[in-house]
Structure 1
Amino acid sequence: MFSKLKFLFSYMHQYRWWYTGGILFLALTVWVSVTIPEFIQRSIDLIADGRAGNEADFNKNVLIIVGLALALILVRTFSRILIFIPARLIERQLKGEMFRKLSSFGKDYYDENLSGSIISRINNDINGLRLIAGFGILQIGNIIFSLSLTPYKMWQLSPALTLYCIVPMVVVFIIVRIGMAIMVKNTRLQMNTLQRLSGKTISFLSGNSVIKSYNIYDYAEREVQKENISLFGQTLKIAWIRSFVMPLLFNLGQILKIVVLFVGGMYVINGKFTIGELTGYIAYAALLSQPIMGLGWVLTIFQQGFVGISSIQTILERRGADEKRQALPDEIKANLFGDGIRVKNLNFTYHNGEKPELQAISFTIKPGQVVGITGKVGSGKTTLINCLNGYLRPEKGMVYFGDLDAADLRSEDIRSSVRTVSQEVFLFSDTIENNIAFGSEKAPTKNDFKEVIYKSSFADELARFPKKEKTLVGEKGIMLSGGQKQRISLARALYTPCDLLILDDVFSAVDTDTERFLIKQIFDNHPAKSLVVISNRISVLEKTDFTIVLEEGRMAAKGNHRELLEQSEFYRDILALQQES
């Protein structure tokens, strides 16, 4: 509990002057609220007195009531503005921090956590914290001030009647407190179920084409329905508790009015109370019921919010992949690839793997070289390049940039020199132009947009789109074919100059003519100092300075086209197969 409060106050402290102003206006709100019944009481007594000559006093009291009511509207509005705005600012800040933190995590985190669960944490859990920082703080201040001033005013009128009012309040509060404890337990289960439902929904929507291809609609519907029914059941339990607890809170004011009317009415009959005092007391009883209702909401908000804070803390307190690594000075980073990359006896095992994915791999990439990587499916090609670009982090002493060990370098520094066009193409739901320019904000230089479009063999197709480069590609590029998406991804890599460009099977979704054109542009024009090309196409591999053949995570052969024809059976097989085709 203390760690959660400390976490909350660390954000609220930044906006302490906002909260201070809000609390001051909230105090004024409560003061005006408890002052109005005094003038109502005087006005009613003047009416009950019914004597001529009281008109001036009556009009004066009514004008004061109207003035106080207008002042109440003003100070209440300011109290909410000054408290709710910092809550929204905290929400915005937290979402930004969580996104930056999530961006710093490695592959192991995303293997263990579903995307839907992460999205649910960012949206739902932060909302709980925002409610604490906004509505929760407002209600706490309202409760403190109201329960200080209102009972004092009631006690001044009648101590005995005040004690009569306290009894139902205590009973209702105990019942509500028990109900809230049960409700929070179910709320925690509801949030976990919602995260699972979000994860499955996003997975099934992303894999919609697979579901259609294999005709497994029933399976997808059953899985979603199972979590949906579970969420419904937990939500219904919360609704049952609320349907019992909330009426008690909402009708507490009516209960108090009945008590006041019965006991206070007897006082009036016996001459202990005037009609005006009874009316004023009823007004105070109504004011007193509001903070008690607010107390129930505060308990709910804080308990739900603390569940959300726990979830947020698990992300913010987790160390990022580069948290312990120091950023390189600009002059060193600019020359990071000056001596190339040296791979020395590289071994790599995934965090959830049982056996090594790569074993005893050694080679050097010098500036100006074009290197090919080939092998069967699952031989470790993509794993190898991800060890070079910093996405996967091997142990120390295995990958070097010049004399610098890659294990000590930040991913951001590595990727300032190394750019990868991955096998899994991802396009954002934006224009073609913005997708190509994505990631170039910090680049000191950029290539000409039209030239990049031409080199990626996308110029003719772009010209056919009515809106040209302003064309929206849809969610994950759904409006485009696989080849079009791959060429836009290639254009994105070519748009910003880099030292080492890694192409992971970028020719797989294009036709033969487009392949020839891309090979010419990439190999003849050298868009980067050095190239690493993953491919099983001999037309690509025969143009490299040397090619590495991987088999079951090991380097089975290494050499140029002629050397590999002598060394590698796999290389000879794919050549024969492609010649027959």
Structure 2
Amino acid sequence: MIGKLKFLLKYTHQYRWWYTGGLLFLALTVWVSVTIPEFIQKSIDLIALGQLGNESDFQKNVLIIVGLALALIIVRTLSRILIFIPARLIERKLKGEMFQKLSSFGKDYYDENSTGTIISRINNDINGVRMITGFGILQIGNILLSLSLTPYKMWQLSPTLTLYCVIPMVVVFVIVRIGMAVMVKNTRLRMNTLQQLSGKTISFLSGNSVIKSYNIYQWAEDEVQKENLSLFHETMRITWIRSFIMPLLSNLGQILKIVVLFAGGLYVINGQFTIGELTGYIAYAALLSQPIMGLGWVLTIFQQGFVGISSIQTIMDREGADDKRQAIDQNEKEKLFEQGIEVKNLNFTYHNGDKPVLSDISFSINPGQVVGITGQVGSGKTTLINCLNGYLRPDSGMVYFGKQDAHKLTSEDIRSAVRTVSQEVFLFSDSIENNITFGSKKATQVNPFEEVVYQSAFADELSRFTKKEKTLVGEKGIMLSGGQKQRISLARALYTPCDLLILDDVFSAVDTDTERFLIQQIFENHSAKSLLIISNRISVLEKTDYTLVLEEGRLAAKGTHEELIKQSDFYREILTLQQEN
């Protein structure tokens, strides 16, 4: 609990002057609210007297009531503006920090958490924080102020009658408190179920083509329905409790009015109360019931919000991949690839693996070199390049940029020198132009858009689109073929010059003629200082300065095209197969 309150204080303190102003206007709101019944009391008593000459006093009291009512509208509106706006600002700030934090995590986090779970945390859990810092703080201030001023006014009129009103309030509060404890337990279960449903829904929507191709619609619907029903049952348990608690709170005002009318009516009959005092007391009882009703909402908001904070804290308290690394200055960053990259006895095991994926690999890439990597499926090619581009982090002393140990460099520093075109192409649901120029805003130099489109063999196809580069590609590039997506991804990498350009099997989805054109453009016109190309195409590998052959995570051979023909059985096999075809 203390940790959650500190979490809230961290953000609310940044907007303390907003909240201070809001609470001041809230205090004025409560003061005006408890002042109005005084003039109602006086007006009723003047009516009850029915004496000539009291008209001016009556009119004066009515005008004061109207003026106070107008003032109440103004101060109540201002109190809400000054409290709700910082709640929205906190929501915006927290979402930004959450995204930044999520961006700092490595592969291990995303292996353990589905996209749906993460999205659920960002949306639902942060909404809970907004409700606490907005409506929750407003209601707490309203409850504290109302329960101090209103009972004081009631006590001044009749201490005994005030004690009568306290009894049903205590009984209702105890019942509500027990109900809220049960709600917390079910709220946690509901949030977990909602995260599972979100994850499964996004997974099935992303894999919609697979579901269609295997004709397993019913299975997918049943799986979603299973989670949906589970969410429904958890929600209904909460609804059953709320359907008992909320009416009890809502009718508390009516209960208090009955108590006041019965006991206060006897006071009037006995001459201990005037009609005006009884009317004023009923108004105070109505004012007293409102914060008690608000207390039920506050308990609900805080209970649900605290569950959300626990979920948020699991992300915010988690250490990012670069949290303990110090960024190098701009001058060092510009010279990072000056002496190339050296890999020394590289070993790597995934966080959830039980055996090394890479073992004892050593080589170097000097500025100006073109290096190839080849090997069977699962031989560790993609893992190797991910150890170079900072996506995976091997132990210290294995990868060096010049004299800089890559283990001590931040991911941003590494990727300022290394750019990767992955075999798993990802396009944003945006225009072709924005997909190609993505990430170039911070770049000091970019290549002409038309030039990189031509070099990536996409110029002819782009000209056939009605909207040209403004054409929307759809969700994850669904409007394009695999080869088109791959070439747009390549154009994105070529658009901003870099020191080392890594191409991970970028020719796999293109035809022979396109492949030949791409090879020529990449080798002759690339703007990178060095190239690292993963491919099993001999037409590519024969043009490299040297090629690494991986087998089961080990460096089986290393050399030029002619040397590998003599050294590597795998290299000779793929050469023979491709010559036959």
* TM-score, structure 2 normalization: 0.99
What is the RMSD computed on CA atoms of the aligned residues? 0.9
Aligned equivalents of 1:580 and 1:350: distance in 2?
A: 38
Deviates more, 1:382-391 or 1:152-161: 152-161
Aligned to 1:331: 331
Question: Residue 525 of structure 1 aligns with which residue?
Answer: 525
Match of residue 126 from structure 1: 126
Q: Please report how far the alpha carbon of residue 527 of structure 1 lies from its aligned counterpart in structure 2 after TM superposition.
A: 2.5
Asked if 1:290 corresponds to 2:290, the answer is: yes
Segment of structure 1 superposing worse, 42-51 or 320-329? 42-51
CA distance in 2 between counterparts of 1:474 and 1:304 reads 36
Residue 393 (structure 1) aligned with residue 393 (structure 2): yes
Find runs of 4+ consecutive structure 1 residues off by over 4 angstroms: none
In the alignment, what sits opposite 1:49? 49
**Alpha-carbon distance in 2 for matches of 1:511, 1:344:** 37
- In 1, Cα distance between the equivalents of 2:428 and 2:4? 36
1:13 Cα deviation from its structure 2 partner: 0.6
Instruction: Say yes or no: does 1:373 pair with 2:373.
Output: yes
* C-alpha displacement of 1:266: 1.5
Matched letter for residue 24 of structure 1: L
Q: Distance in 2 between matches of 1:511 and 1:48?
A: 98
Q: Distance in 2 between matches of 1:162 and 1:411?
A: 66
- Report the alpha carbon displacement of residue 474 of structure 1 after superposing the two structures with TM: 1.1
1:145 matched residue in structure 2: 145
CA distance in 2: counterparts of 1:252 and 1:42, whole angstroms: 26
Give the aligned partner of residue 424 of structure 1: 424
| 2:516 counterpart residue number | 516
Which residue is 2:25 aligned to? 25
1:104 corresponds in structure 2 to 104
Which has the larger displacement, 280-289 or 526-535? 526-535
Name the aligned partner's letter for residue 278 of structure 1. L
Structure 1 residue 216, shift from structure 2 partner: 2.1
Partner Cα separation in structure 1 for residue 509 and residue 48 of structure 2: 91
Distance in 1 of aligned mates of 2:247 and 2:413 = 59
**One-letter identity of the residue aligned with 1:470:** K
Inter-partner Cα distance in structure 2 for 1:265 and 1:122: 55
Deviation at 1:222, TM superposition (A): 2.1
Q: Is the contact between residue 340 and residue 367 of structure 2 (CA under 8 Å) also seen in structure 1?
A: yes
* Residue-pair matches, total: 581
SS at match of 2:229: helix
Query: 1:81 is matched with which residue?
Result: 81
Aligned counterpart, 1:179: 179
Distance in 2, matches of 1:265 and 1:125, equals 50
Deviations 1:254-300 (A, max 9, x none): 11111111111111122211111111111100000011111111111
1:505 aligned onto 2:505: yes
Q: Which amino acid aligns with 2:488?
A: I
Partner of 1:90 in structure 2? 90
Deviations 1:209-243 (A, max 9, x none): 11112222222222211111111110000000000
What's the secondary structure of 1:360's corresponding residue? strand
SS at match of 2:499: strand
Query: Which residue of structure 2 lines up, in the alignment, with residue 341 of structure 1?
Result: 341
- Aligned partners of 1:44 and 1:405: how far apart in 2? 85
2:190 matches 1:190:
yes
8 Å Cα contact 2:432/2:471 also seen in 1? yes
Q: Whole-Å Cα distance in 1 between the matches of residues 200 and 409 of structure 2? A: 36
Please give the alpha-carbon distance, in whole angstroms, between the structure 2 residues aligned to 1:430 and 1:526. 26
The within-5 A match list for 1:161-560 is 161-560=161-560
What are structure 2's unaligned runs of at least 5 residues?
Answer: none
Q: Percent identity, aligned pairs only?
A: 82
Provide the C-alpha distance between the structure 2 equivalents of 1:215 and 1:562, rounded to a whole number of angstroms: 49
Any idea what the Cα deviations from partners look like across 1:468-513, whole Å, max 9, x if unmatched? 1111111111111111111110011001000000000111111111
Question: 3-state DSSP class of the match of 1:322?
Answer: coil
Describe the SS at the equivalent of 2:529: strand
In the TM superposition, residue 54 of structure 1 has moved relative to its aligned partner by: 1.5
Question: Which amino acid counterpart does residue 194 of structure 1 have in structure 2?
Answer: L
Structure 2 contact 249–293 (Cα < 8 Å) conserved: yes
Deviation at 1:7, TM superposition (A): 1.2
Question: What is the DSSP-based 3-state SS (H/G/I as helix, E as strand, rest coil) of the residue aligned with 1:394?
Answer: coil
Structure 1 gap ranges (5+): none
SS in 2 for 1:562: helix
User: Partner letter of residue 27 of structure 2?
Assistant: A
| Residue type at the aligned position of 1:351 | H
Amino acid in the other structure paired with 1:334: E
Superposed CA deviations along residues 499-537 of structure 1, whole A, max 9, x for unmatched, are 000000111111111111111100111331100111111
What do the CA deviations read for 1:403-446 (whole angstroms, capped 9, x no partner)?
A: 11111111100000000000111111111111111111211111
Larger mean CA deviation between 564-573 and 341-350 belongs to: 564-573
Letter in 1 for 2:299: L
Report the Cα distance in structure 2 between the residues aligned to 1:58 and 1:460, rounded to whole angstroms. 87
The whole-number CA distance in structure 2 between the counterparts of 1:239 and 1:296 is 14
